[in-house]
Structure 1
Amino acid sequence: MMVIVNALLPVLMVIACGTIVARLGIITGDQWRGVEKIAYFVLFPAIIIHTVARTDFSTLPAFAMAATLLGSILITATIALVLRPVLERRFKVNGPRFTSVFQGAVRWNTFIGLALADEIMGPQGVALLAVAIVAMIPVLNITCVIVLSRYAHGSSPSPAKIATDLIRNPFIWSTALGLFLNITGFPLPEFAMTTLKILGSAALPIGIVCVGAGLNLAALRRPGPALASSAILKLAVMPLVAFSLSSLAGLQGAAYLVVMIAMSVPAASGSYLLARQMGGDANLMAEILTFETVLAGVTMPLVLLIAT
């Protein structure tokens, strides 16, 4: 349990740093937009390329893990979409706000997952987490881009608009590039891989600082239906679905534990950056991320205790 707490507390502290920096006016306005774009288009892709390119997937139960992870995502996403009319009718959750609810319900914090897998299982855990990255990131980003294209702007997107948003999404092209390097064995020079590693190491702190900068702490004292529904779907429903599907798929040992880690972490900080880029409710997204991260300090130990 202390491993999980020790992995989550630093994230909360960095969020707090971002809030303090914003409140003091050390970085303001357009300067924050520039920092967000660096994290979104450079730093996050670097760590994805580096991790995916270096993992030997042939020795891992990739198919069973991928099927369990994707099934959990799709079931939870379906539940969220079914609930959308209810949230809109009863609680006035409009399109942009729903996109944040949706992202908070289905996306996962890769960096917390990596930290936990490494702390608990070492290199084996990191390798297994790479399976989750390859399986989940493209599907999650395609799904979230489509939902944002549809509901953030209030009209059905054209196929060209969806295609453009997907092509521009750095999480998708970086995963594709990492897979290309992995499958082809294309020999990148060691200095290039080291460069990716250095850039990737900056992704977590800068991305989380941006979350803290956009945070409205007062809203956490009166969590509404949008905040609560997103957290319930992410931290309760998704782990329950993953537990059921893991049993059906026959997952055991380290692979099973990594699946439960991936499905019980809070939503990704990249959700905030995507909301900013595509017109979602970024303030609500920041609140959901912080609320889920705090709450995950309680729910994740329970999920992993039950799982093991």
Structure 2
Amino acid sequence: MLTTFNALLPVILVIASGHVIARTGLIGPDQWRGIERLAYYLLFPAVLFQIIAKLDFATLPTAALSATLVCAILTLSVLVLAFRPVLQRVWGIPGYRFTSIFQGTVRWNAFVALAIADSLLGEQGVAIIAVGMAVMIPLLNVLSILVLSRYAHAEPPTLAKTLKDLGTNPFILSIAAGLAVNAAGLPIPGPLDDTLTIIGSAALPVGIMCVGAGLDLASLRRPGPALTSGTFIRLLVMPLVGAFYASVFGITGPALTAVIISLAVPAASNSYLMAKLMGGDAKLMAEILTLQTLVAVGTIPLMVYFLGGG
């Protein structure tokens, strides 16, 4: 467990540095939004394209890995949806607040997962997480849109709008392009490969600094059932479900560690934007993201140690 924590510590410190820089005003809110867009539209897509294009899928348990992640996500989605009437009846949590609990449970922060996998497992870990992203990102976007459309007070998006959102997602586009190049057996020209390496080298530090900049510690006044359930189902239950399916599909070694990392990291920061745009509870979503990030400092090493062979 000490090895995992030591690998996680640099990630924590970079997140903390982003938070300090944001709170001191050295970089303003508008500038942070620009940095986030840079990471989202260029830096991480460059990493994903390069990794997927050059990846030897035969060396990874791609099918078993995909099945494990999909089954874990769908299982937790069903369980949380089944729990919704209890949340409303016992604690008075309405539908629009429930959508933040749902997003907080099923979505994941790929920036943090990639950083931890790189620190703990190296290039192989990043490659495994990239394969997981190819499976999880489209599925999680569709599930989140459907739940927000059903339970938030927003106009449901049309099928065309949903397909457009998925088809213009830079992560999905870069993964698809990488898969096309990989399948065609095309090499990446040397100068382009070097360019992608330079661009991609900024992705992980910039991405996780943005996570720190988005933390709102002042929002954590008195945690209620909505906040705590949205936090701990994700950080404790999701990795357990993932470990179960990993055993079913025979996932072991670094792939198992990467699965647990993927399912133990906090939810995606763009969950807040989706909640705000589609009528969910954006304030609760921000609180969940903040508390998850703080608590994950302790839970990720535990989950990787006990479930991921760390």
TM (normalized to structure 2)?
A: 0.83
Contact 1:12–1:293 (CA under 8 A) maintained in structure 2: no
CA distance in 2, matches of 1:267, 1:176: 23
- Match in the other structure for 1:22: 22
Percent identity over paired residues: 53
- Match in the other structure for 1:219: 219
CA distance in 1, matches of 2:294, 2:105: 15
Q: Give the drift of 1:71.
A: 0.2
Unaligned runs of 5+ in 1: none
- Match in the other structure for 1:173: 173
In structure 1, what residue type is equivalent to 2:216? N
Contact 1:40–1:273 (CA under 8 A) maintained in structure 2: no
Contact 1:72–1:238 (CA under 8 A) maintained in structure 2: yes
Contact 2:216–2:290 (CA under 8 A) maintained in structure 1: no
Correspondence list, 1:260-275, <5 A: 260-272=260-272
Which deviates more from structure 2 when the two are superposed, residues 248-257 or residues 118-127? 118-127
- Match in the other structure for 2:210: 210
In structure 2, what residue type is equivalent to 1:132? G
Query: Kindly tell me: are residues 32 and 116 of structure 1, through their superposed partners in 2, closer, same or farther at Cα, counting changes over 3 Å?
Result: closer
Matched, 1:257 2:257: yes
In structure 2, what residue type is equivalent to 1:35? I
Which deviates more from structure 2 when the two are superposed, residues 73-82 or residues 16-25? 16-25
- Match in the other structure for 1:56: 56
Query: Kindly tell me: are residues 7 and 149 of structure 1, through their superposed partners in 2, closer, same or farther at Cα, counting changes over 3 Å?
Result: farther
Q: Give the drift of 1:241.
A: 1.0
Q: Give the drift of 1:69.
A: 1.1
Secondary structure of the residue aligned to 2:220 is helix
- Kindly provide the CA deviation profile for residues 97-133 of structure 1, in whole angstroms up to 9, marking residues without a partner as x: 4443223211223344334444444444343333323
Provide the alpha-carbon RMSD of the alignment: 2.9
TM (normalized to structure 1)?
A: 0.84
- Match in the other structure for 1:133: 133
Secondary structure of the residue aligned to 1:154 is coil
- Kindly provide the CA deviation profile for residues 218-276 of structure 1, in whole angstroms up to 9, marking residues without a partner as x: 22242222321122221111111112212222333333333223222332345456556
Q: How many residues align?
A: 308
Contact 1:211–1:286 (CA under 8 A) maintained in structure 2: no
In structure 2, what residue type is equivalent to 1:62? T
- Kindly provide the CA deviation profile for residues 27-54 of structure 1, in whole angstroms up to 9, marking residues without a partner as x: 4354343333222222232222222222
Contact 2:49–2:177 (CA under 8 A) maintained in structure 1: yes
Matched, 1:107 2:112: no
- Kindly provide the CA deviation profile for residues 50-94 of structure 1, in whole angstroms up to 9, marking residues without a partner as x: 222221112222111211111001111222233344445554555
- Match in the other structure for 1:295: 295
In structure 1, what residue type is equivalent to 2:219? A
CA distance in 2, matches of 1:197, 1:275: 34
Query: Kindly tell me: are residues 234 and 169 of structure 1, through their superposed partners in 2, closer, same or farther at Cα, counting changes over 3 Å?
Result: same
- Match in the other structure for 1:156: 156
CA distance in 2, matches of 1:21, 1:121: 29
Contact 1:129–1:258 (CA under 8 A) maintained in structure 2: yes
- Match in the other structure for 1:198: 198
Secondary structure of the residue aligned to 1:215 is coil
- Match in the other structure for 1:2: 2
CA distance in 1, matches of 2:303, 2:267: 16
Q: Give the drift of 1:180.
A: 1.5
